[in-house]
Amino acid sequence: MDWIRLKLREALGDKKPISKKLLVFLGLLVFGVVFLINALAAPKVQQIEIANSNANANVGSDPAISVERAKIFIHIVGEVKVPGIYELEAGSRLMDAVFAAGGLAESADQSSVNLARELTDGEQVIVFKSGSLNSPTSIANQAGSQISLNRSTQSDLEELPGVGPALAGRMVDWRSANGGFKKKEDLLNISGIGDKLYAAIKDQVVL
């Protein structure tokens, strides 16, 4: 208050005492101006904070931004506890489908399935009964020297000349992904089987 009094005297060039009422009025005026400036500035900060908060909320709730993993549908039948159609995450293995179906039945021929194989959307998986006429092991035995392309296990396919574990695995994967072999010439669609190898094994296989 003394500071205001001194400044007014210097500005007015008046050495007479300044009215206390005037000083109070000027003090209130200065206080009011400062308060008004702060009041006008505060909503801007709050508005920015609210805008940022709404932006963060929209990022989490916007369906276009949220990431959803792809799904596939698998039909598993045969010797599993609960056969049916199951929805799995893309990239799932056959063991995931078997687990979803309650596991293998005690009568299942485990050699008829490759549990580590990756599944494709819309695929049907058949788990055969052990010792049945349709099981890969039985068909391989019935065919004698010929091996069934659609029923044999990977180890059976490895008995073909020039076919090792890696190539036999690709044959099983191609069979599963394409619904089986429709003709012997389908072997040429598999990486690693050319005309020479096909000519060497075509008479030793059946569909």
**Does the structure show a pLDDT above 70 at 3?**
no
Average pLDDT over residues 30-51: 62
Q: Are 88 and 123 in contact (CB under 8 A)?
A: no
Helix (H) / strand (E) containing 147: strand 147-148
pLDDT of residue 13: 53
Between 5-14, 17-26, 109-118, 188-197, the lowest mean confidence (pLDDT) is in: 5-14
Q: Which of 202, 79, 86, 75 is nearest to 134 (CA)?
A: 79
Share of the chain above pLDDT 90, in %: 14
Better-scored residue on pLDDT, 74 or 48: 74
**Does the structure show a pLDDT above 50 at 143?**
no
Q: Residue 162 to residues 196, 198, 199: CA-CA distances in angstroms?
A: 10, 10, 11
Q: Which residue has 């010929």 as its token pair?
A: 146
Better-scored residue on pLDDT, 44 or 192: 192
Q: Per-residue b/e over 12-25, b at no fewer than 16 CB within 10 Å? A: eeeeeebeeeeeee
**Does the structure show a pLDDT above 50 at 45?**
no
Q: Are 90 and 70 in contact (CB under 8 A)?
A: yes
β-partners of residue 84 are: 76
Full set of structural domains in the chain with CATH: 2-61 (no CATH), 69-130 (3.10.20.600), 133-207 (1.10.150.320)
| Residue 73: Cβ within 10 Å count | 12
Average pLDDT over residues 177-193: 87
